[in-house]
């Protein structure tokens, strides 16, 4: 009982740390008036939007709902999604029919993606059919999960696959409506969220551990990163189809705000929507697991019961989370963006506040802490977890600042993405493969729930008030957040590699002295391959 109590308290602490720093910043903005922000300078349809007391009360309640919702969700996911991924992944390896394995893998990828909360939040902000967006991205993740399984089976070089598929994405992006480009790359970042990542990590571990020769740590990385490419190509395909049909994104972005006078009546409606929506998205996944388990695995009843209970706990947490986000969290984020976008002089404050949001989002993200400890283990302690954490946090803050600069000066996100990915791919051939796999996986980890539910709406609100095209200059933040770890983690890997090589070279010079009869062969290249 004590262990379970500590488990739940730990999850509650993680959720609170993920949400409260941003809540404190919003509270400070509400209390401080010396910035010269006029709360009534922006209005939609004759209604002014500001951080009014009524809005802040609803925001506070939403924060509490999010904390408890994320606690239930994270705990339930650990008990269900990670276990389901490991169980099905290890069982599929034992199947002799490879086409059956690929078919089951594809279905799982689609079902898990449809249930992803970050994707639900993003699809509701784009302004076109959420069903089309979610289904298309789900199909893309399913396809690339299959490609990831084939890669593990054939032991293909992950770096070459990244280079090939991203080259395809960059080639196609010049054929689509430029307004779609930021949305395409944002979709790749949000897909690898708190529902998908635990499943994919468990699935990859199950596959790698069950293959002949035992577990290979390098093979268990990279699956999440491959699955983030599928959504990019899926949304590019949607754009090409819409272009062929003569359709395009809405000319005016549909702002997602709630009239302060109508906030309370909306809570019940949001809860009802979340109850039904989450049931529709998670139901097929639970049903698939139960049928698969009954036919192919036949686990002990206690294990099945624990997983089913975990699914229902995940469901309850997801309902609270999504209802709170759409009711009180996302509207406040856009309102803060409205406030800073009313005058160009406030954009400097937007950079500072946005940078803080980015830093807090990484420091408080539990999955990032797991990643940093993995990097410390892989580097044999030469790269400390705390150092990685702070570098990731600062780089995430820089990503938000760069995005605000782009919004202010109105230039294409391609000016960031093209050179950024070129640098990332150059680094991938200079560092050990494991660093590349971890770097690309970490892009999805860094763009956690706070990015899609608060920082992105903040940037959208900022873009709305400046009169910019929201699709061109509001979206794209998640893409920036997902790109930065590719550079910084591989950069740290390069630093560690050069440091070790320098140490070996120095040791070799000490050993091989003049008139030394020792014959010592050091194959440095093999040591770092």
Number of other residues whose CB lies within 10 A of the CB of residue 42: 20
Residue range 505-518, pLDDT digits in tens: 877 777 655 555 55
Torsion over CA: 449, 455, 460, 465 (sign):
positive
Q: Which of 290-299, 308-317, 443-452, 466-475 has the lowest mean pLDDT?
A: 443-452
pLDDT of amino acid 443: 75
Indicate the pLDDT class of residue 527, thresholds 50, 70 and 90. Answer: very low
Q: What is the largest CA-CA distance in the chain?
A: 90
Q: Which residues, listed in sequence order, are joined to residue 43 by a DSSP beta bridge?
A: 48
456 to each of 405, 410, 442, 452, how far by Cα in Å? 14, 17, 19, 5
Tokens 């608060």 sit at which residue? 454
Q: How far apart are alpha carbons 458 and 421 in whole angstroms?
A: 25
Q: Is the pLDDT of residue 68 over 60?
A: yes
Residue range 145-183, pLDDT digits in tens: 899 888 877 877 888 888 899 999 999 988 888 988 999
pLDDT of amino acid 426: 92
pLDDT of amino acid 316: 92
Q: Is the pLDDT of residue 74 over 90?
A: no
243 to each of 386, 473, 475, how far by Cα in Å? 47, 20, 20
pLDDT of amino acid 40: 44
Residue 47 DSSP one-character state: E
Q: Is the pLDDT of residue 418 over 80?
A: yes
Q: Which residues of 319-329 are buried (b: 16+ CB within 10 A; e: fewer)?
A: bbbbbbbbbbb
Residue range 95-135, pLDDT digits in tens: 777 888 888 889 888 988 888 877 888 888 787 888 888 88
Phi, psi of 44 (to 5 degrees): -130, 125
Which residues, 6+ apart, have CB-to-CB distance to 216 below 8 Å? 208
Is the model more confident about 301 or about 53?
A: 301
Share of the chain above pLDDT 70, in %: 81
Tokens 């000319």 sit at which residue? 251
Say if CB 229 and CB 165 are below 8 A apart: yes
Helix axes 130-154, 117-126, angle to 10 degrees: 140
Q: Which helix (H) or strand (E) holds 255?
A: none
Torsion over CA: 325, 327, 332, 334 (sign):
positive
pLDDT of amino acid 526: 52
Say if CB 118 and CB 452 are below 8 A apart: yes
Between the ranges 8-17, 117-126, 409-418, where is the mean pLDDT highest?
409-418
Residue range 314-364, pLDDT digits in tens: 899 889 988 888 888 888 888 888 878 776 667 788 888 889 888 887 776
pTM summary value:
0.81
Q: Is the pLDDT of residue 299 over 80?
A: yes
Indicate the pLDDT class of residue 143, thresholds 50, 70 and 90. Answer: very high
Helices (H), 127-221: 130-154, 158-172, 181-191, 196-210, 217-220
Average pLDDT, rounded, for the chain: 80
Say if CB 485 and CB 365 are below 8 A apart: no
pLDDT of amino acid 401: 93
Q: Which residues, listed in sequence order, are joined to residue 47 by a DSSP beta bridge?
A: 44
pLDDT of amino acid 511: 65
Residue 451 DSSP one-character state: I
Tokens 């391959």 sit at which residue? 529
Helices (H), 379-432: 385-409, 414-428
How do beta strands 43-44 and 47-48 pair? Answer: antiparallel
Chain CA centroid to CA 254, Å: 24
Phi, psi of 161 (to 5 degrees): -65, -45
Q: Is the pLDDT of residue 248 over 50?
A: yes
pLDDT of amino acid 257: 57
Q: Is 467 left (phi over 0), alpha (psi -120 to 50) or beta?
A: left
Is the model more confident about 48 or about 332?
A: 332
pLDDT of amino acid 36: 52
459 to each of 165, 324, 405, 414, 450, how far by Cα in Å? 29, 19, 11, 18, 13
Say if CB 482 and CB 444 are below 8 A apart: yes
Which residues, 6+ apart, have CB-to-CB distance to 507 below 8 Å? none
Q: What's the first-to-final CA gap in the chain, in angstroms?
A: 47
Q: Which of 44-53, 197-206, 350-359 has the lowest mean pLDDT?
A: 44-53
Helix axes 433-446, 181-191, angle to 10 degrees: 100
What mean pLDDT do residues 283-296 have? 88
Residue range 486-504, pLDDT digits in tens: 898 888 888 878 887 888 8
Q: Is the pLDDT of residue 76 over 70?
A: yes
Share of the chain above pLDDT 90, in %: 11
Q: Which helix (H) or strand (E) holds 293?
A: none
Is the model more confident about 243 or about 342?
A: 243
Nearest to 91 by CA among 284, 283, 303, 305: 303
pLDDT of amino acid 48: 55
Indicate the pLDDT class of residue 528, thresholds 50, 70 and 90. Answer: very low
Q: How far apart are alpha carbons 208 and 221 in whole angstroms?
A: 10
Q: Is the pLDDT of residue 365 over 70?
A: no
Token readout for 114 is 């449809």
Q: How far apart are alpha carbons 40 and 34 in whole angstroms?
A: 15
Say if CB 395 and CB 424 are below 8 A apart: no
Tokens 């999805």 sit at which residue? 444
Q: What is the CA radius of gyration of the chain?
A: 24
pLDDT of amino acid 236: 93
Q: How far apart are alpha carbons 122 and 315 in whole angstroms?
A: 19
Q: Which helix (H) or strand (E) holds 43?
A: strand 43-44
Q: How far apart are alpha carbons 490 and 421 in whole angstroms?
A: 12
Is the model more confident about 399 or about 440?
A: 399
Which residues, 6+ apart, have CB-to-CB distance to 435 below 8 Å? 378, 489, 490, 492, 493
């Amino acid at each position: 009982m004590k262990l379970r109590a500590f488990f739940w308290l730990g999850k509650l602490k993680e959720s609170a740390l993920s949400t409260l720093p941003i809540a404190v910043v919003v509270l400070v903005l509400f209390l401080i008036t010396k910035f010269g922000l006029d709360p009534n300078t922006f209005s939609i349809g004759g209604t002014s939007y500001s951080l009014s007391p009524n809005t802040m009360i609803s925001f506070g309640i939403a924060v509490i709902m999010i904390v408890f919702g994320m606690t239930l969700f994270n705990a339930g996911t650990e008990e269900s999604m990670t276990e389901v991924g490991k169980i099905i992944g290890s069982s599929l390896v034992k199947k002799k029919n490879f086409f059956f394995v690929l078919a089951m893998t594809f279905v799982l990828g689609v079902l898990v993606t449809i249930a992803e909360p970050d994707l639900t939040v993003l699809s509701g902000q784009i302004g076109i059919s959420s069903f089309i967006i979610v289904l298309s991205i789900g199909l893309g993740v399913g396809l690339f999960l299959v490609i990831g399984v084939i890669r593990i089976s054939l032991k293909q070089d992950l770096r070459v696959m990244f280079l090939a598929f991203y080259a395809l994405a960059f080639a196609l992006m010049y054929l689509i409506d430029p307004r779609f480009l930021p949305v395409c790359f944002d979709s790749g970042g949000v897909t690898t969220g708190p529902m998908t990542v635990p499943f994919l990590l468990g699935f990859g571990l199950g596959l790698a551990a069950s293959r002949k020769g035992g577990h290979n740590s390098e093979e268990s990385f990279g699956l999440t990163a491959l699955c983030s490419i599928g959504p990019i190509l899926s949304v590019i395909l949607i754009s090409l189809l819409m272009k062929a049909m003569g359709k395009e994104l809405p000319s005016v972005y549909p702002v997602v705000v709630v009239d302060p006078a109508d906030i309370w009546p909306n809570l019940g409606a949001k809860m009802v929507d979340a109850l039904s929506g989450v049931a529709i998205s998670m139901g097929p996944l639970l049903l698939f697991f139960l049928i698969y388990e009954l036919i192919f695995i036949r686990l002990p009843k206690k294990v099945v019961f624990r997983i089913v209970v975990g699914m229902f706990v995940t469901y309850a947490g997801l309902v609270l989370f999504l209802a709170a986000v759409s009711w009180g969290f996302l509207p406040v984020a856009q309102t803060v963006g409205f406030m800073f976008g009313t005058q160009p002089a406030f954009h400097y404050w937007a950079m500072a506040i946005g940078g803080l949001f980015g830093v807090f989002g990484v420091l408080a993200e539990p999955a990032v802490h797991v990643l940093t400890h993995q990097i410390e283990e892989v580097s044999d302690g030469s790269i400390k977890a705390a150092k990685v954490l702070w570098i990731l946090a600062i780089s995430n803050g820089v990503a938000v600042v760069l995005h605000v600069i782009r919004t202010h000066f109105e230039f294409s996100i391609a000016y960031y993405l093209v050179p950024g990915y070129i640098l990332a791919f150059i680094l991938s051939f200079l560092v050990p493969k494991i660093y590349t796999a971890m770097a690309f996986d970490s892009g999805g980890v860094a763009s956690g729930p706070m990015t899609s539910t608060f920082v992105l709406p903040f940037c959208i609100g900022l873009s709305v008030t400046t009169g910019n095209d929201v699709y061109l200059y509001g979206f794209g933040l998640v893409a920036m957040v997902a790109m930065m770890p590719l550079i910084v983690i591989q950069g740290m890997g390069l630093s560690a590699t050069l440091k070790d090589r320098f140490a070996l070279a120095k040791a070799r010079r000490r050993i091989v002295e003049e008139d030394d009869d020792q014959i010592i062969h050091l194959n440095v290249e093999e040591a770092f391959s």
